[in-house]
Structure 1
Amino acid sequence: MYFLGIDLGSSSIKLSVLNAETEKCMASISVPDFELEMKAPRHGWAEQEPEMWWQYVKEGIAKLKEVHQIEIEKIKGIGIAYQMHGLVLTDENLNPVRSSIIWCDSRAASIGESIYNKIGAEACQEQILGSPGNFTASKLKWVKDNQPEVYAKAKYMMLPGDFIAAKFSGVAQTSTSGLSEAALWNFKENRLATEILEAMDISEEIIPEIVSNFGKQAIIDKEIAAALGLSKDVQINYRAGDQPNNALSLNVLNPGEIAATAGTSAVVYGVSNTDDYDANNRINTFLHVNNTPEEKRNGVMVCINGSGILYQWLRKTLSEDSKNLMDYDKLNELASQSEIGSKGLRFYPFGNGVERIFNNKPAFSGIEGMNFNIHQKTDMVRAACEGIVFALNYGFEIMRNVGVEGKVVKAGKANLFLNPVFREIFANTTNTTVELYNTSGAEGAARGAAYGYGYFSTIEAAFKGLECLEKIEPNATLVAQYQEIYQDWKKNIK
């Protein structure tokens, strides 16, 4: 019995197939072979075409069958992880009425702030544990106010993963955790946050059917199944935003457990059993994937937008030939050739839209302390790694102030966590043990689908095959050294 996991990112789409009987991942692929197109019609905007995502999902399934020889007709369930906070608007036939406004688009930040002020800080924080900020609800309001002719065509508001699920099933749905990611979940009363919609003058009719994260959400459309070569009985059994799903992939499910990732953006995500929030709205709280009315599980998250995208920028900038870019292993090697502290060079990785840790406002970004007689590209790369971790630690401090902390951080051995220098900086700056695992978001989504289907009786059972590949322990001497450098870095935060 096989289960398909799909991880819809903004740079690529990853697919994994799990053999539930052996509990092993049979194949994992990424499509396309280049980074997905991201449109920026104006400064601070970021959009992608939802139909492009669907096209590459279909190509990925075909590749699993034709290249990897996977018997895809044995797939029983599908799990979908997706880039959070995006807005997809479709008509009644599930055709997009505009491009998706994705997670790193900043245009709606001022709208979120105005709604927050309209409702009132206390009421808003009590209901959605923060501000609408730049989340999906604010983007929906932006479309209503600025593109009324487009909004008039919209029947459903969905998140990116909801759209892919709908393309499989022909049914528009969203999830409870998805609504919390959109700033549309009332934590106090465990329901849709109609107060936010009312403040935005938006009818709740635009919200599709609400389903749980796990379970029989929908069955594949027969015509889609035939076109893709899948069984007509395939179910959609799981969906979640990429960061809650990353935590699931690492078996991070209970209070005190922490997950991290450093892809396009960098994230620290801790599990809590209380409705805590930061009074200054610098961190995010969502329903975690295993939240139930009987057992509260929230995910408290700090996100830095300029992580892997900064590393991509360095790769392009430092390469001699724009058509023959240096590989990331070379970039990691350059970082290892500089010393701790990067000879006084400080990098501020806040160049990819507004930052939540600064209350959805742009922050000081760039390089400080550059000396043309001293610094080389090795120092620049290491300073970038240090800056990304320092920015995460800045958010980690905020999380600890609301009671979310732990001494072990789990991460997949991927992206920046492939870099030994980055791992050492992270462990010693945060003073935590870093555990690296052999997993991915797509594999986690496949395991989530297997649990949602009912193959595994518990979530924990779905992840008992998870293997820790490496542990990085903090060193007391290095912890003190990095703390001094971090405090110096923090002086320039604006």
Structure 2
Amino acid sequence: MYLLGIDVGTSSVKVALVAAGDQRIIATAQYPEKEADIISVKPGWAEQDPNDWWYCVQQAILKITSRYKEEAANVKAIGIAYQMHGLVVVDQHQKTLRNSIIWCDSRAVELGEDAFEQIGKDKCLASLLNSPGNFTASKLAWVKQHEPEIYSLIDKAMLPGDFIAMKLTGAVTTTVSALSEAILWDFQKQQLADEVLAHYQLDLKHIPELQPLFSVHGELTKDVATLLGLSTGIPVTYKAGDQLNNALSLNVMRPGEVAATAGTSGVIYGVSDQLKADSQSRVNTFAHVNYSENKSYTGVLLCINGVGSMYRWAKQQWAPQLSYQQLNQLSQTSPIGSKGLKVLPFGNGAERMLTNKYTGAQMLNISLNTHTNADVFRAVQEGIAFAFRYGLDIMRSNGLDPSIIRAGLANLFLSEVFAQTFVDVTATPVELFDNDGSVGAALGAGIGAGIYKNEQEAFENLKPIKTIEPRNSRDYEPVYQEWKNILTNKLNEFN
């Protein structure tokens, strides 16, 4: 008996085939091999074509099913993880009407800020646990205001994972967790956020059918099953945003537990049992995968838009011929503090933790006689780690102070410089796991299908590869404070 997990990321789609019995990873695949493009026709805009995601899903699945035909014939459930906060709109024939406005797009910021004022800040923070910001509901409102001809054709508005589930099954569903990340869930009333719908004058019929997160969200159609080398009728039993899914895949399910990831974006995600919001909506609270009316487990999410994208940009500019592994080794030759070079890694849209300000990425204190490529790549990694510390301090001010953080050994955590800097500057140990979002989605599907009794059984074999302890916190503190002063001065320019 096997499980299939799909992780629809910004840069690629990953798929995993997992043995249900012992959670062994049978095979993984990725498509495309190179990072997918983001369409940005104006500064601060970010779009992708949902049909490209679907094509990538097909290609990644076929990589596995073409080699593991017997196992593919015994897949019992499918799970989906996806890039959060994107907007996908389709007509009554389930055809996309425009590109997806994805998570790092900033065009709806002003609409969200106006909604925050008009609905009432206290009401939003108490009921929505967030400002409407530039989240999915605000993006849909932007389409209504600026593209009325498209809005008039909308049958359903959904998140990226809902779209992929629709392509697999023909069914369109959503969850409380998904609605909360769209800022369309009222935690006090335990229902759709009618104040947001009313303020934006959004049509209720556009909202998909509400289903429990761990439940059947449709079954694989005959045509799609034949196309992908799978069996007809396999249920999709789990859908979750990528950061919630990352937490699930690290077994971060109980209050006080914290996960981190450093992919295209950077995230610290902690589980809470308090319906609490940051007063400035710098960190955001959503319904966790195990949220229920009787168990108000929420995920407090700090997001930094420009993490992996900042490192990729630096690579393209200074050393496109080198691999990331070579860059990581090169950066080890630069000392702590990168000889005074400082990087603000905020070049991928308005940052929520900076109260939706867009500073742009910046490199400061450049010495033409001193700095080398090694210093550049270390400074970029340090700047990213400092951004994590800045955000974690906001989370700490809201009562979430982790004693340890769990992360997958992937992306920037593959760099010894970044991983140790992250630990040193936050003064918090990190446990690293050999895990993957697509594997987590597969195990989530097992929970949703009832193959596992609970999440503890699904992750009973999860063990850390290693733990990184703080070594240089004292040396890094003054370097971080210098970086923070630069950021503070930049933010003051907006005021």
Q: TM-score per shorter chain, which class?
A: over 0.9
SS in 2 for 1:367: strand
- Aligned residue for 1:238, secondary structure, equals strand
Aligned length: 488
- Take 1:239 and 1:159, find their aligned partners in 2: how far apart are those partners? 10
Q: Secondary structure at the match of 2:65?
A: helix
C-alpha distance in 2 between matches for 1:329 and 1:24: 27
Any conservation in 1 of the 2:69–2:229 contact (CA below 8 Å)?
no
Matches within 5 A, 1:453-468: 453-468=449-464
Written as runs of structure 1 = structure 2, the 5 A alignment for 1:22-421 is: 22-67=22-67, 71-319=71-319, 325-363=321-359, 365-421=361-417
Q: Percent identity?
A: 45
Shift of 1:236: 0.6
Instruction: Output the TM-score relative to the length of structure 1.
Output: 0.97
Deviation at 1:210, TM superposition (A): 1.1
Distance across 1 between alignment mates of 2:216 and 2:480: 47
The alpha-carbon deviation at position 217 of structure 1 amounts to: 2.3
5+ residue gaps, structure 2: none
Q: Is the 8 A contact 1:79 1:446 kept in 2?
A: yes
* Residues 385-408 of structure 1, C-alpha deviations (whole Å, 9 max, x = no match): 111011111110111111112110
2:494 paired with 1:487: no
Q: Which runs of 4+ in 1 moved over 6 A?
A: none
**Secondary structure of 2:346's match?**
coil
Measured in 2, the distance between the counterparts of 1:225 and 1:44 equals 39
How far is 1:70 from its partner?
5.8
Shift of 1:364: 5.4
Contact 2:65 2:230 in 1 (8 A): no
SS of residue matched to 1:285: strand
- Residues 104-113 or 358-367, more deviating: 358-367
Matches of 1:14 and 1:304, distance apart in 2: 22
Are residues 129 and 417 of structure 1, via their aligned partners in 2, closer, same or farther at CA, if it must alter by over 3 Å? same
What displacement does 1:435 show?
0.3
Q: Deviations over 1:144-163 (max 9, x none)?
A: 00000001110000000000
Question: How far apart, in 2, do the equivalents of 1:374 and 1:179 lie?
Answer: 51
Amino acid at match of 1:452: G
Structure 1 residue 37 displacement after superposition: 2.8
Quick check: 2:4–2:15 contact (8 Å CA) kept in 1? Answer: yes
Q: Which SS does the other structure have where 1:150 is aligned?
A: helix
Whether 1:444 aligns to 2:410 is no
Deviation at 1:473, TM superposition (A): 0.8
The residue matched to 2:215 in structure 1 has which SS? strand
Residues 24-45 of structure 1: CA deviation (Å, up to 9, x unaligned): 1100111112222321122211
Q: Distance in 1 between matches of 2:323 and 2:86?
A: 30
Cα deviation, residue 182, structure 1: 0.6
Question: Residue 65 of structure 2 contacts residue 228 of structure 2 at CA under 8 Å; is this kept in 1?
Answer: no
Maintained 8 Å contact 1:76/1:233: no
Please, what is the CA RMSD of the aligned residues? 1.1
The residue identity in structure 2 corresponding to 1:185 is W
Change (3 A) 1:252 1:70: farther
1:271 counterpart SS class? strand
User: Partner of 2:8 in structure 1?
Assistant: 8
Task: Provide the rounded CA distance (Å) in 1 between the counterparts of 2:30 and 2:361.
Answer: 31
- Give the unaligned 5+ runs of structure 1: none
Contact 1:270 1:301 in 2 (8 A): yes
Q: Do the aligned residues in 2 keep the contact of 1:334 with 1:378 (CA within 8 Å)?
A: yes
Partners in 1 of 2:215 and 2:414 — Cα distance? 34
Q: Which moved more, 1:36-45 or 1:120-129?
A: 36-45
1:177 deviates by: 0.5
Q: What is the CA–CA distance in structure 2 between the aligned matches of 1:35 and 1:23, rounded to whole Å? A: 28
CA contact 2:81–2:438 (8 Å) conserved in 1 = yes
Aligned to 1:383, what secondary structure does the other structure show?
A: helix
TM-score calculated relative to the size of structure 2: 0.97
d(CA) in 2 for partners of 1:244, 1:61: 23
- Equivalent position amino acid for 1:392 in 2: F
State the Cα distance separating 1:294 from its structure 2 match: 1.4
Cα deviation digits, residues 346-371 of structure 1 (max 9, x gap): 11000010000111121253012111
Q: Secondary structure at the match of 1:89?
A: strand
- Aligned residue type for 2:327: L
SS in 2 for 1:264: coil
CA contact (8 A) 2:425 2:477 kept: yes
User: What per-residue deviation string (whole Å, max 9, x for no partner) do you get for residues 246-266 of structure 1?
Assistant: 000100011111000000011
Aligned-partner Cα distance in 1 for 2:353–2:384: 13
